[in-house]
Amino acid sequence: MSRGTIEGKHLFQPVPVPGLPPSTALADLATAGDDHAWLAGTTGVFTSHPSAPLVLRWTGHTWQEEPLPHLPAAASLAGISATGPHDVWAVGNSAGKPLLLHYDGTTWHLLDLPPITWAKAVTAITPHDVHIVGTGPDTLHWDGTRWTRTTVLASPREGLQTITATGPHDVWAGGGGLAGTGPTSYEYPVLIHWDGTRWTDLRVPRLEHGHIAHLAAATPTDLWLGHQRDTDGLLVHRWDGHRWHPVPTPTGPDRLSLHGVTAGWTWGVRTTRRSFETRPTFHRWTGQDWTPIPLPDDLAATPASHVGLATTSTGTAWAYLKTAEGVHVLRHTPAT
């Protein structure tokens, strides 16, 4: 049996990560080919010190912390996207305003944005075609010259929190809205699509309550959607270009809390029946069902939080998680 496999299943392999303070929170991961990746987060969370944005970059051999512009106020990062090694966009918030950082291959720059409510996610299609969404009803679009803010949702009680794209004429964004008042209020999902000219409301796949927490598009006819509902956790649906199909939740002996979905992957934590410890878990879609991807023994048995994953076009997957010992990043390369 070769190193990196267990019973024919290819393992995640840990890669070096710089030491980070326990107050670190991880938010999002972006890739640009197999040799370029960026991990965004925040340090100083739940401490007496001001929080600060954090970006780690994969150098091809190790992860290193990036020098970021000085910010006069506490700040955090929520999303990151890259079109290539010389074009990376990270969004977050600082002092009640949206925060935008851009990497040109050499230096990170602080850029101005029109005001939106709590920037949550970004997708960069080209250096001259970038979309940002926040928890309010507005989107931002960069055309290479200026930012345009567009109100895309009908109600001020609706907001967006996830976005994905396969090209300039195929962008999806999702979130949720709030209906009713008091004890009768409930959350409902919101899904919109950009065709290169305008945003359009779409029918959500047989979902009545909750919100859309994750979107990931592999192609215009292969969209993965994670729908969060209070009592059921994250439910997965898949769009084939004509209709939505429910995708079964990964099975297992322990209670699963599914945190995210991307094209062909899910991730989250499992809680054993004998304890409240949350163990990280990652699953890959076989075409019919989910198969768990083994983690190194020390991480598989360790309580974890801030679990996430991103993939490349060639099938390489980067995963991250945080334990009491610190931040861990792992790489999964398809077996050849």
Q: What is the pLDDT of residues 208-232, one digit of tens each?
A: 788 999 999 999 999 999 998 876 6
Band of pLDDT at residue 11, cut at 50, 70 and 90: confident
Tell me the average pLDDT across 243-249: 91
- Print the SS3 string covering the chain: CCCCEECCEECCEEECCCCCCCCCEEEEEEECCCCCEEEEEEECCCCCCCCEEEEEEECCCCEEECCCCCCCCCEEEEEEEEEECCEEEEEEEECCEEEEEEECCCCEEEECCCCCCCEEEEEEEECCEEEEEECCCEEEEECCCCEEEEECCCCCCEEEEEEEEEECCEEEEEEEEEECCHHHCEEEEEEEEECCCCEEECCCCCCCCCEEEEEEEEECCEEEEEEEECCCEEEEEEECCCCEEEECCCCCCCEEEEEEEECCEEEEEEECCCCCCEEEEEEEECCCCEEECCCCHHHHCCCCEEEEEEECCCCCEEEEEEECCEEEEEEECCCC
Band of pLDDT at residue 82, cut at 50, 70 and 90: very high
Per-residue pLDDT tens digits for 263-292: 999 999 998 777 778 899 999 999 989 999
pTM of the model: 0.93
Tell me the average pLDDT across 320-333: 92
Residue 183 confidence (pLDDT) above 50: yes
Per-residue pLDDT tens digits for 294-305: 999 899 889 998
For the ranges 72-76, 127-131, 176-180, the lowest mean pLDDT is seen at 176-180
Residue 2 confidence (pLDDT) above 60: no
Residue 6 confidence (pLDDT) above 80: no
For the ranges 135-144, 167-176, 201-210, 286-295, the lowest mean pLDDT is seen at 201-210
Tell me the average pLDDT across 142-157: 94
Band of pLDDT at residue 7, cut at 50, 70 and 90: very low
For the chain, what percent of residues have pLDDT higher than 90? 70
Task: Give me the chain's average pLDDT, please.
Answer: 90
Residue 1: per-residue pLDDT: 34
Residue 179: per-residue pLDDT: 87
